[in-house]
Amino acid sequence: MDTSSLMEQILSKDNLNTAYLQVVRNKGAAGVDGMTVEELGVYLSENGENIREQLQTRKYKPQPVRRVEIPKPDGGTRNLGVPTVTDRFVQQAVAQALIPIFEERFLYFSPNFRFLDRLISLASNSLIIKRIPFLSMTVIHCVRLSVHNFSQQNNLPQLFTK
């Protein structure tokens, strides 16, 4: 893969504009720097060329991620990392360039086959789907796990010794 043409694709004006619009459309909370999505346009107009140069010279450094605890329905909490708006913009620009490359090579029998994404999301990610191409069939197992909760409620060393 020619990385210079990939970087050109990432840094193209159209790709960066599309990335900006997607980040604004997605909304989301501010990261550790406190910058909101509404402030991103002004920030990029002042600092966009600097960000492009840092990316081109491979010197761009993402900021730390802000940690937030989200309440779970069962009363517990789940940790969530909130990147800065600028980092989300850069991630979006890179993803837009990489996704078409990898989607083209994506194996149709993968558990993450795109045609099955909707089905998986409807089942709250509790399905494991395997396509078996030579038998022309699909096997679906419904599994719902929380390793974190399991380890809190069970003595793991004791389980491994039995």
d(CA 121, CA 129): 12
Q: What percent of the chain has pLDDT over 70?
A: 61
Element (H, E) at 82: strand 77-82
Residue 49 pLDDT grade (very low, low, confident, very high; cuts 50, 70, 90): very high
**90 Cβ partners below 8 Å, 6+ apart?**
19, 51, 55, 60, 62
Q: Are 75 and 148 in contact (CB under 8 A)?
A: no
Q: What percent of the chain has pLDDT over 90?
A: 54
Full-model pTM: 0.65
CA dihedral sign of residues 79, 84, 85, 87: negative
Q: Domain ranges for the chain, please list them.
A: 3-105, 114-161
Give the residue-averaged pLDDT of 44-57. 95
Which carries the bigger pLDDT value, residue 106 or residue 20? Answer: 20
Pairing of strands 137-142, 127-132: antiparallel
